Structure 1
Amino acid sequence: MALQDKITQIWVKATGRRIDPNEFEWLIAPSGGTTIIGDRFIFDLAQKEDLELLKNLPNSGLLESVEQIGISKDELNPKVADFYENTSNYDFEIWSEWKGPFRPFGKLLSIIFSKRLQQLNLPLNSIDTAKGLKSEIIKLKDKRTKKTKWTIWYRIIKSTNDVIYSGIYTTCTHPKYDQPLLKVVFPLPNGNASVIMTETVEADGSLLLSSDGKKFGDNGFYFTLADGNGNYWARFVRPMHEWIRVYEDEEEVLRADHNLNFYGMRFLNLHYKMNKKS
């Protein structure tokens, strides 16, 4: 294991808290191995849990239904609902906008972690993503019931072949919230980073996802660490807030704006255009 990964794990243990996985079930999720993440954890997870792996089938969505997150289709723009339920039917264009003083941080993150692990390679400029993204929806299903247990959204920057996101999209039931929350899990060595998001349907049918909690136990960004012996630690990253708005613009084009803040300062905007495959 690389030194920087060991340091990160020590930080999680030292500044986070030890958790009971039964009490904090909403935080527990698959971990990565100790080296490259990429798509390796997907095959490892399928083998470990004896699941059938199905890749990029037509009409495969991040969610089986938007009702999984407590949203009625009658409230939501039909294009937004279709995107979440049939994500594999779409191609993507992406533009990135790092805010001035944070751009060196993005480069440092890439050098220390992202390139090596092939996880969270956030684009440093729009030239990197000019050729678009390669997007795959991967389903891990119970071999007997054929029910989906895990859905993975695997995205690669076409120009560099770097993995921008290798994330599990699922939901969790949280005792503090009335409806299920969207949970996005990014496996890391011996643990993961999880973003727990609340959902709001806006007046025009757009979907706003928010991870803007103020304390441990709120929606937000968490690092979770497991030692393989049933022991877990979690660290709530309070300064990290993000919002994703999925909407149809005035030209009837489906788009998403992903905004990330650190200590209240915007450090990265990601803009997506989603086009239905012909």
Structure 2
Amino acid sequence: MAIQDKITQIWVKTTGKKINPNDYEWLIGPIGNTDIIKDKFIFQLAKKENLEIQKNLPNSGLLEKIEHLGISDQDKYRLNDKVADFYENTSNYNFEVWSEWKGIFKLFGKLLSLIFSKRLQQLNLPLNSIDTAKGLQSDIIKLKDKQTKKTKWTIWYRIIKSTNDVIYSGIYTTCKNPNYEKPLLKVVFPLPNGNASVIMTKKVEKDGALLLCSDGKKFGDNGFYFTLTNEKGEYWARFVKSMHEWIRVYEDEENVLRADHNLNFYGMRFLNLHYKMTKKLVNKNL
């Protein structure tokens, strides 16, 4: 294991808290390998849990149903149909992305890439829009029970085409945090011997946009968490209260589906990501 990974894990143990996984099921998720993340954990997870892998089937979404987010009937009526369709049929979309690092934080992005992202092939956040000019490869991968065919895990695997670097290899699911009445969106990014998780609340805005937030202030709130485990089945978790993010998915005035992803560190904006989503063309002659 790389020394930087060991240092991170020591930090999680010493500054976080030891948890009983049965008491914090909403935080527990798949873990990564010690050498490289990329898509390696997907095959290991499928083998471990005896699941079959299905990739980019038509109409495969990050969520099986938008209702799984705990959206009320009133909110579902107000939610833009295109936003709901995106989450339920993500594999039907192409993506363009633009990135904007703020000031000195671009140096932080370069360090993150050098120390962790390039080596692990996880969280290679684009340093500039030129990197993503050729677009993204977006794969929706479902791990399904071989008998019931029900989805156990949904992975959104995104690669920068120009560099072949993995931006996100993340598991999209929901969780029931006892501090919240409705389910929360949970995105798990496997890391060596653990993972990073973003737990997000949701709000349907007046214009039909969906706003997802990880802006909690203390352990147990929505937010950013590191979780670590060992061969004995012991777990530690660290809430990172300095990290907040917002994702707003909406239809613009030209009827184009877009998303704005904003990340803050100690209240300061350090990265803006903007996505444009368009439906894939279907060849009706096939």
* Aligned-pair CA distance for 1:228: 2.3
Cα RMSD (Å) of the superposition? 0.5
* Aligned-pair CA distance for 1:230: 1.4
Give matches, 1:186-265, under 5 Å.
186-265=189-268
In the alignment, structure 1 residue 138 sits paired with structure 2 residue 141 = yes
* Structure 2 partner of 1:275: 278
* Structure 2 partner of 1:19: 19
CA distance in 1, matches of 2:22, 2:163: 41
CA distance in 2, matches of 1:225, 1:270: 28
Superposed structure 1 runs of 4+ greater than 2 Å apart: none
Please tell me the residue identity of whatever aligns with 1:49.
E
In the alignment, structure 1 residue 59 sits paired with structure 2 residue 59 = yes
The gaps in structure 1 that reach 5 residues or longer are none
* Structure 2 partner of 1:8: 8
Give matches, 1:31-46, under 5 Å.
31-46=31-46
Q: Secondary structure at the match of 1:235?
A: strand
* Aligned-pair CA distance for 1:75: 2.4
* Structure 1 partner of 2:103: 100
CA distance in 2, matches of 1:183, 1:228: 24
**TM-score, L = length of structure 2:** 0.97
* Aligned-pair CA distance for 1:130: 0.3
Please tell me the residue identity of whatever aligns with 2:110.
K
Identity percentage over the alignment? Answer: 80
Per-residue Cα deviation, 1:167-191 (whole angstroms, up to 9, x for no partner): 0000000111111000000000000
CA distance in 2, matches of 1:217, 1:70: 19
Q: Secondary structure at the match of 1:6?
A: helix
Q: Count how many residue pairs are aligned between Structure 1 and Structure 2.
A: 278
* Aligned-pair CA distance for 1:8: 0.4
CA distance in 2, matches of 1:227, 1:75: 45
Q: Secondary structure at the match of 2:46?
A: helix
* Structure 2 partner of 1:69: 69
Find 2:125's aligned residue among 102, 122, 127: 122
The gaps in structure 2 that reach 5 residues or longer are 282-286
Q: Secondary structure at the match of 1:106?
A: helix
**TM-score, L = length of structure 1:** 0.99
CA distance in 2, matches of 1:58, 1:194: 27
CA distance in 2, matches of 1:218, 1:123: 28
* Aligned-pair CA distance for 1:74: 1.6
Please tell me the residue identity of whatever aligns with 1:43.
F
